[in-house]
Chains A and B, each alone.
Chain A
Amino acid sequence: MALGRADYNILPADARAGGLLPWIIAVMMYLCALAIFSAVSLQFGIATWSENLERSFTIQVPAETAGQADFDVLIHTALSQIEGVASIDVLSRQENKDLLETWLGKGNVSDELPVPALIDVTLAVDAQVPQSTLDAALSAFPGARVERSASWLSQIKTAALSIIANAYFVVMLVLAATLAVVTFGTRAQLAAHQSTILIVHHMGAEDRVIAREFQYSFLKLGLIGGLLGTAMALLTIVILWLTFKVPDVGLVAVLIENWFAVLFIVPIPLGAALLTMLTARFTVFSSLKAVL
């Protein structure tokens, strides 16, 4: 041995081998990464989605009123005079039929079926249109009804927020479980090497010296676990993206459209390493307090 090996570890090598610990941390961090990614991307997705919907509403005009000559021009003219209206989209007869086929089945919508006209109106950013203004503009179209998205959007937002809250709750649970696993792991190592620790303790080693023996090995284990877990999570996201990279696939679409949410999981390995190190350090300190 080179006596120059003055940086040799006081604890034997098996005290620094984590066994299954890196894998357990990897699984924890995998769940943590997916939960964070889901929460963040959903948060971004809902924000964008609701911003668009809050500025739009749909006008439904009964078939008998919509059947009048030059209805499209008249309604367009009436709505375009309202200040703040950015776009007006009168759905064609075919588009209406396509919508109805979702409910009635393909080919079941006959031309004789009285189908109301639907007009999508989008307002300019920050524009406010009072209901009275809309009512005045639509007075020439008996039976016309305005359906604002805001009425059902708040329910969807509430549902989305509860999903996000649950995701963060999962993150907290996973972190708590990681703390518990690392604490038990550190205690097991302390118990396994109690005699060695007592010897150096009685030789005058300060608690921080003994803690240092543990904390850096646990830092390494946490980093390995964090890297493994984050890599697995990124792989999962890529697979999801490749599998569902088609429009209109619901929640998954929201997730993959906000791919940049992966930036929020990149620091996870570092976080896992720090969390593991600090937990081990705290555990060693609290355990050594029981020894004079």
Chain B
Amino acid sequence: MPETASKAITPAVETGSSANRVRFENVGMRYGVGREVLRNISFQLDPGSFHFLTGPSGAGKTSLLKLLYLAHRPSRGVIEIFGQDVAQLPRKRLPALRRRIGVVFQDFRLLNHLTALENVALPLRLAGGKSSQITGHVRELLSWVGLDDRMDATPPTLSGGEQQRVAIARAVIARPDILIADEPTGNVDPHMSRRLLHLFAELNKLGTTIVLATHDLSLLERFSANLLRLENGELVGNSASSDPVARGLVGDASVPAAPSGSSGAPAAAHAGPPAGASDVQPSGRQQAD
């Protein structure tokens, strides 16, 4: 990952550290005075683990993600993120936690008046990064997601797939401790989908906890990760996915290495996968509770 990005936030390489653990305990959530849309949710995401969140429409996936990216407080229960009980945490302390969480929204939520480059640079800017340091890393990442020639384009002029890649680049540029993505591969072709999952896997290897909400069954079959399944506002499954082989990622020579930043050269310029690319799989597999 870009060097600036890794400096902008606390590195998440402390796999196993309870400080970066996410814990939900008997969590309920409601909007206003309505009925609970999430009930009795309990699970734990270990640092550096990789999870798919799945379930039918209306099951509560988006609400659960809102709790994870601190857009909503639970109506009951305990949510512990980075060792903090977010239900009790004062509002003024939430931004610092949010900066350690990357989010890819289903509707992208890019700022239409900013270019792709500026959109991706935004998290680093909010983290206090200097423009001179930000520039190179943002360009490198955008180049890696195939947007070399679209960096100066504004979102309304980008295709859905391009917008999605910008949104993903924005979410990962600051190398978050937790990456939350809502249908992150919904608008891209299979090849780009594999590339993006490869990027997520690389991040995961570096210690980032990943939560991907998806309806894509093929993704679940191809990619080995823990599975959180929601139905009607309740967690009905919390286990490893059935197929442990990360098909489509493992040994795929067409997938270049994610930008490392440490070499100083854009990773996308590599002729092939770097050493160790063949074992690109999410880490931190979690057993069923």
A203 touches B98 (CB 8 A): yes
> In the complex, which residue of chain A has the Cβ closest to the Cβ of B96?
A204
Q: How far is the CB of A189 from chain B (nearest CB, A)?
A: 14
- In this complex, the member of B72, B94, B111, B117 whose beta carbon has the largest number of chain A beta carbons within 10 angstroms is B111
Decide yes or no whether A292 CB sits under 8 A from chain B.
yes
Decide yes or no whether A7 CB sits under 8 A from chain B.
yes
Decide yes or no whether A263 CB sits under 8 A from chain B.
no
Q: How far is the CB of A10 from chain B (nearest CB, A)?
A: 7
Q: Given the complex, which residues of B lie within 8 Å of A13, measured CB to CB?
A: 113
Mask of B110-135 contacts with A, CB within 8 angstroms, 1/0: 01111101100111011100111011
A292 touches B126 (CB 8 A): no
B71 touches A5 (CB 8 A): no
B118 touches A202 (CB 8 A): no
Decide yes or no whether B79 CB sits under 8 A from chain A.
no
Q: How far is the CB of A261 from chain B (nearest CB, A)?
A: 46
Decide yes or no whether B103 CB sits under 8 A from chain A.
yes
Residue B152 contacts which of A1, A11, A203 (CB distance < 8 angstroms)?
A1
Separation of A6 and B134 alpha carbons in the complex (Å): 9
Given A196-B111, A202-B71 in contact, is the A289-B95 Cβ separation under 8 Å?
Answer: no
> In the complex, which residue of chain A has the Cβ closest to the Cβ of B97?
A204
Decide yes or no whether B169 CB sits under 8 A from chain A.
no
Given A289-B91, A292-B72 in contact, is the A203-B99 Cβ separation under 8 Å?
Answer: yes
- In this complex, the member of B69, B97, B98, B127 whose beta carbon has the largest number of chain A beta carbons within 10 angstroms is B98
B123 touches A199 (CB 8 A): no
Separation of A11 and B114 alpha carbons in the complex (Å): 9
Decide yes or no whether B70 CB sits under 8 A from chain A.
yes
Task: Report B271-286 residues with CB < 8 Å from chain A CB.
Answer: none
Chain A contact residue count (CB 8 A cutoff) = 24
B126 touches A209 (CB 8 A): yes
Residue A3 contacts which of B71, B99, B139 (CB distance < 8 angstroms)?
B139
Separation of A1 and B121 alpha carbons in the complex (Å): 13
Decide yes or no whether A181 CB sits under 8 A from chain B.
no
B131 touches A10 (CB 8 A): no
> In the complex, which residue of chain B has the Cβ closest to the Cβ of A202?
B71
Decide yes or no whether A12 CB sits under 8 A from chain B.
yes
Given A3-B135, A204-B123 in contact, is the A10-B111 Cβ separation under 8 Å?
Answer: yes
Q: How far is the CB of B135 from chain A (nearest CB, A)?
A: 4
B113 touches A205 (CB 8 A): no
A195 touches B113 (CB 8 A): no
Q: Given the complex, which residues of A lie within 8 Å of B132, measured CB to CB?
A: 4
Separation of A12 and B110 alpha carbons in the complex (Å): 12
Separation of A205 and B283 alpha carbons in the complex (Å): 30
- In this complex, the member of A13, A203, A207 whose beta carbon has the largest number of chain B beta carbons within 10 angstroms is A203
B121 touches A3 (CB 8 A): yes
Q: Given the complex, which residues of A lie within 8 Å of B103, measured CB to CB?
A: 202-203
Chain B contact residue count (CB 8 A cutoff) = 39
Decide yes or no whether A103 CB sits under 8 A from chain B.
no
Separation of A4 and B72 alpha carbons in the complex (Å): 35
Q: How far is the CB of B143 from chain A (nearest CB, A)?
A: 13
Task: Report A202-236 residues with CB < 8 Å from chain B CB.
Answer: 202-207, 209
Decide yes or no whether B22 CB sits under 8 A from chain A.
no
Mask of B127-166 contacts with A, CB within 8 angstroms, 1/0: 1001110110011000000000001100000000000000
Q: How far is the CB of A31 from chain B (nearest CB, A)?
A: 36
Q: Given the complex, which residues of A lie within 8 Å of B115, measured CB to CB?
A: 1
B109 touches A195 (CB 8 A): yes
B123 touches A203 (CB 8 A): yes
Q: Given the complex, which residues of B lie within 8 Å of A200, measured CB to CB?
A: 111, 122, 126
Q: Given the complex, which residues of A lie within 8 Å of B96, measured CB to CB?
A: 204
Q: Given the complex, which residues of B lie within 8 Å of A152, measured CB to CB?
A: none
Decide yes or no whether B21 CB sits under 8 A from chain A.
no
Separation of A8 and B125 alpha carbons in the complex (Å): 10
A8 touches B118 (CB 8 A): yes
Task: Report A1-41 residues with CB < 8 Å from chain B CB.
Answer: 1, 3-8, 10-13
Given A4-B131, A202-B69, A292-B72 in contact, is the A10-B122 Cβ separation under 8 Å?
Answer: yes
Separation of A1 and B98 alpha carbons in the complex (Å): 28
Decide yes or no whether B73 CB sits under 8 A from chain A.
yes
Task: Report B46-85 residues with CB < 8 Å from chain A CB.
Answer: 69-73
Separation of A6 and B103 alpha carbons in the complex (Å): 22
Given A203-B99, A205-B95 in contact, is the A4-B135 Cβ separation under 8 Å?
Answer: yes
A199 touches B134 (CB 8 A): no
Q: Given the complex, which residues of B lie within 8 Å of A7, measured CB to CB?
A: 131
B98 touches A204 (CB 8 A): yes
Q: How far is the CB of B102 from chain A (nearest CB, A)?
A: 9
Mask of A266-290 contacts with B, CB within 8 angstroms, 1/0: 0000000000000000000000010
- Of the A-B pairs whose beta carbons lie under 8 Å apart in the complex, a sample of 18, sorted by A's number, is A1-B118, A3-B117, A3-B118, A3-B139, A12-B111, A13-B113, A196-B111, A200-B111, A203-B98, A203-B123, A203-B126, A204-B98, A204-B100, A206-B95, A207-B95, A292-B70, A292-B71, A292-B72
The 3 closest A-B pairs by CB, nearest first: A6-B131, A204-B99, A204-B98
